[in-house]
Amino acid sequence: MSVSVAGLIGAAIGLYLGWLDWKILKGVIQAAEMKNRQGGGDGGFAAKYKTPLSWIVFLVPVIGFPVIGYWAGVGLTG
């Protein structure tokens, strides 16, 4: 299997978008936890499952977006 330059460029763009998505989702989870704690709660779902959620939120965009980017780059160039 040969590696396509266009696919690598697509994977790099996908990695960057995955990193941005991870930062946004991490902030959303932290904000939801803080909002629940300020309202007198225990942190809710976000605090209860913080470790598994943080791994899922990290792995899916940072692994998935480059794979999709590679396939898109190869597919668009033929």
pLDDT tens digits along 43-59: 777 778 888 888 998 99
For 63-73, the pLDDT digits (tens) are 999 999 999 99
Other CB atoms within a 10 A radius of the CB of residue 46 amount to 19
Instruction: Give the chain's domain count.
Output: 1
Average pLDDT of span 18-33: 91
Residue 44: the pLDDT is 77
| Neighbour tally for 77: CB within 10 Å | 12
Above 90 in pLDDT, residue 9? yes
| Helix-helix angle 50-77:5-38, to 10 degrees | 150
CA-to-CA distance for 59 and 21, rounded, in angstroms?
11
User: 8 with 67: CB under 8 angstroms?
Assistant: no
Instruction: Tell me which residue range forms the domain holding 45.
Output: 5-77
